Structure 1
Amino acid sequence: MKSPMRLARGAVAAVIAAAGLALATPGPAAAVDFSGKTVEWWIPFSEGGGSDVWARFFAPYLARHLPGQPNVIIRNVPGGGSITGTNEFAARARPDGLSLLGTSGSTQFPYLLGDTRVRYEMADFEPVLVSPTGGVVYIPASFGITDASELGQIADRELVYASQGATSLDLVPMLAFEVLGLNVRHVFGMTGRGDGRLAFERGEATIDYQTSSAYLTNVVPLVEAGDAVPLFSYGVLDAEGNVQRDPSFPDIPHFLEAYEMMHGEPPSGVAFDAYMAFFSAGFAAQKPAMLPRGTAPEIVEAYRQAFAEAVADPALQAAKGEVLGEYDQAVGEDTVPLYQVATSIDPEAREWVRGYLRDNHRVTLD
């Protein structure tokens, strides 16, 4: 029997390889002209959130590089944790190149979990940009743990994690802790990861994670002051689907390395397969931009080319700062395999997660 670890890595690689073979030869992007038109970029979240900021950052560069330089405006359609707006886009958006959808891990998660409120099929959308992000898990320095190799010393100790919810992006650390074998009590009700960090600083939480920018801004000073110790980053996926160290934290081991440091062997099993699916959707390919089903190949190619040119634009590179960080943006044909990895889950892993959430956190999705 093959190792589940190999199956997990192999599944990612297989998706990427299949996507590469399936890419159709695009029509000429030059045949597309959006002169005098307006593109609506649907964001199923309120103004000011991470996805809204991301889209508003990209919008002027996209407008500059699309054929005809159309006006690109953001249309916020919040509700249902992003399910409402995504359902509406799937039902109403016309495949004429004038409607674009930008989502986040909290949109992909309900889809992966089989939430009955979901009326969209991620496989129907045409990805034209995929943006990753990262995060770092850390604990108090007072525990006396210097790195992940020593985590076995506190394996039986109850840790407290201040969570935004069992099906939010906090599902990724939840699954990571489960795979590692840590004893973590999840306290729900946080309105943001900033609340979780403050709970950590007050001593109410004893394990936490922050996204890359928040970690660099707010947690690195705690580490430098001797108050916190980083355990692992989630890492990033390379073009072959292998987990690599986060470019923002090259000196911090990624999750797979941390597991092996703690247990002496690579992770495996259905819980790990589930972790990989939600890590991919929540971090490695967190924010995709997509066109609706039925969009003509030449329009899809025009968007992929425009985003590739936008990412290479010196003005964007100079301004990307905290919005994009040091992460490579997936553009052109690279969007397809990464998007497929982030919107796919093995049925056995899905059922395991649903059962885990039901039995441990009273979460039902039917």
Structure 2
Amino acid sequence: MRLISRVRSLAASAATIGICAFGAMSPAAADLDLSGKTVDFVIPFSESGGSAKWANFYAPLLSEALPGKPTVAVKYMPGAGSTKGANWFQKQKYEDGTLIFGSSGSTQFPYMLDDPRVRYEYNDWNVVLASGVGGVAYLPPDIAKKFDGDADDLGDIDFIWGSQGATRLDLVPLLAWEMLGMKVEPVFGIKGRGAGRLMFERGEANIDYQTSPAYLKAVVPLVEGGKAVPMMSWGVLDANGDIVRDPTFPDMPTFKEVCEATAACETSGDVWDAWKAFFIAGFPAQKMVFLPQGAPQEAMDTYKKAFEAVIARPDFKEMAAARLGIYPQLTGKQADATLKLGTQVPAKAKTFVKTWLNERYGVKLN
């Protein structure tokens, strides 16, 4: 069954109810031949955001690496804060290896927060790739003049920001800006981070952030044209679990550095612990590729080997640095570990965030 028939089936139901470690290759993996087929790479977002850029980066490389060199076509299924596409994927069963799904932190956060829209279970899915990613917040030039490494002079500015939703990946910047004492009013409901960037470009918003793939492709030209100024990156985790500068943006301060320099912000205590927990789930463990329920080991091994072949290409690091940034691309047991890291949050941090979302934005979760 191709994607179009799957979507039609789901739509009919909705109308009725109202929707890099390298390992040994299993010999059976050679049985999965994708010659002449099309692999649908479904992401639950629009075509304008970081997930689209990530998926479109991998699609042609994966096509070359899979046995039979199938066409890998990226398909978009935005809606309901990405839970629409994830709920759809939950209903899919493995058929012939021609369906994979790309998850993001914006899909993981509703799952971790017990969002009532969630009808999907990560433990039912089969992860074959885990990609870390970064993020950058940026300002218009006139406001950036007031930023000198701390946010002390930004507290009297009324910021407007286009947001996909408070329980999405946008939770990380929303909480960060509040910790810095900034007055950021989100306009919820935009279809993708690309739409938020367009609001910034049109002057309808005066602050924004993008994940690294989208920032490198769509915001760097704005910076070079004098229309935007980077404020900070979220940073990355080092081997000790500490937040350090993003290697893709080594000259930018991290949020932790800005927080330490800002009188209103603290890098310890319950609020910091909650922010860091969701930052880890949202960025170091952000993007993952899955096969659906029931995928046999031979299919898992085939995709694992294909992604490892992509990552091992002599030109991969250079291509990835330009389009994705410099972040880990993990398979096998490392991908399994990343899945756990990206879909679990300490109970205390979850409780704090749920209370904050309710009090600050009126978002009530179970």
Per the shorter chain, which TM-score range? 0.7 to 0.9
* Correspondences of 1:1-366 after superposition (within 5 Å): 28-33=25-30, 34-36=32-34, 38=37, 40-45=39-44, 48-50=47-49, 51-67=51-67, 69=69, 72-74=72-74, 76-94=76-94, 97-143=97-143, 144-149=145-150, 151-155=151-155, 157-194=157-194, 196-197=196-197, 199-200=199-200, 205-216=205-216, 219-220=219-220, 229-238=229-238, 241-263=241-263, 267-293=267-293, 295-297=295-297, 299-314=299-314, 320=320, 323-366=323-366
| Gap runs ≥5 in structure 2 | 1-19
Which residue in the other structure is 1:13 paired with? none
Query: Do the aligned partners of residues 61 and 158 (structure 1) sit closer, same or farther apart at CA in structure 2, a change above 3 Å counting?
Result: closer
- Once superposed, what is the RMSD of the aligned Cα atoms? 3.7
Q: What fraction of aligned residue pairs are identical, expressed as a percent?
A: 44
Q: Mean alpha-carbon deviation: is it higher for 103-112 or for 325-334?
A: 325-334
Partner secondary structure for residue 175 of structure 2? helix
One-letter identity of the residue aligned with 1:35: D
| Gap runs ≥5 in structure 1 | 1-19
TM-score after normalising by structure 1: 0.76
Contact residue 148 and residue 259 of structure 1 kept, 8 A: no
Contact residue 40 and residue 75 of structure 2 kept, 8 A: yes
**How big is the shift at 1:289?**
0.3
Distance 2:188 2:261 in 1: 29
Distance 1:266 1:48 in 2: 37
Distance 2:256 2:295 in 1: 38
CA offsets 1:127-159 (integer angstroms, 9 cap, x no match): 21122332222335545434323x223335543
Partner secondary structure for residue 146 of structure 2? coil
Query: Do the aligned partners of residues 255 and 337 (structure 1) sit closer, same or farther apart at CA in structure 2, a change above 3 Å counting?
Result: farther
More helix by share: 1
Distance 2:219 2:67 in 1: 43
Which residue in the other structure is 1:16 paired with? none
Aligned residues: 343
**How big is the shift at 1:193?**
4.1
Contact residue 123 and residue 340 of structure 1 kept, 8 A: no
Contact residue 137 and residue 209 of structure 1 kept, 8 A: yes
Partner secondary structure for residue 102 of structure 1? strand
CA offsets 1:195-219 (integer angstroms, 9 cap, x no match): 5445556665443323335545665
Q: Mean alpha-carbon deviation: is it higher for 156-165 or for 115-124?
A: 156-165
**How big is the shift at 1:283?**
2.8
Distance 2:100 2:196 in 1: 33
Distance 1:348 1:342 in 2: 16
CA offsets 1:216-238 (integer angstroms, 9 cap, x no match): 56655665677754331012234
